[in-house]
Amino acid sequence: MERGSLENHLFRKGSVALPWNARMKIALAAAKGLDFLHSGGPNGSKPVIYRDLKASNILLGQDYTAKLSDFGLAKDGPEGDKSHVSTRVMGTYGYAAPEYVLTGHLTTMSDVYSFGVVLLEILSGKRAMDKTRPVGQHNLVEWCRPYLSDGNKLFKVMDTRLDGQYSIKGSQTAGKLAHRCLNRDPKRRPKMAEIVDILEQIQNLKDMAKPST
């Protein structure tokens, strides 16, 4: 893909800040990719769990179209009345769902948690794990969790490189969505189809904030 990975655009030193609309376009495309897999993939038979969603596995095209890459850890989801697949824990620290890390039980909701982490990275411009940050901020999810559902505090999470140029309502909606995706109880996380619907609604918002002076 012409523009390389989302990771490079968010975190590489000297990179130009991604505009708000591009960030939401990327999030939506990644969500659609996961929804396609969870719906049964190309065969439409049983769900496929991606298992390793992270910023480096999202590749960007010239107009910020995004595609998932590296399906090496993808796994068929549970069949019949089974609720999960038991497997050796693999993936990337900081992105993996807590219940998967603890038990090895893998579900589509494991991907939803990982998507929540990536969405948080997109909003904040910060890595999921970074020990060079101040104490208490090493783990992005735990640091941001208290601010995500409070629209009045969400600005503390937002990437300062955006210089205030983002949809206020859209950022609040995305923050609440990330909060739901990162719920410690997998049963309370939204399905990818709902996530796609919410992100599509954000695309249509026009309430861009004025740049700070």
Which residues are marked as active site?
52
CB 171 within 8 A of CB 158: yes
Residue 199 CA to residue 116 CA, distance in Å, equals 12
CA-to-CA dists, residue 99 to 48, 102, 151, 183, 187, angstroms: 18, 5, 28, 11, 11
How many of the other CB atoms lie within 10 Å of CB of 44? 8
User: What is the Cα–Cα distance from 20 to 24, expressed in whole angstroms?
Assistant: 6
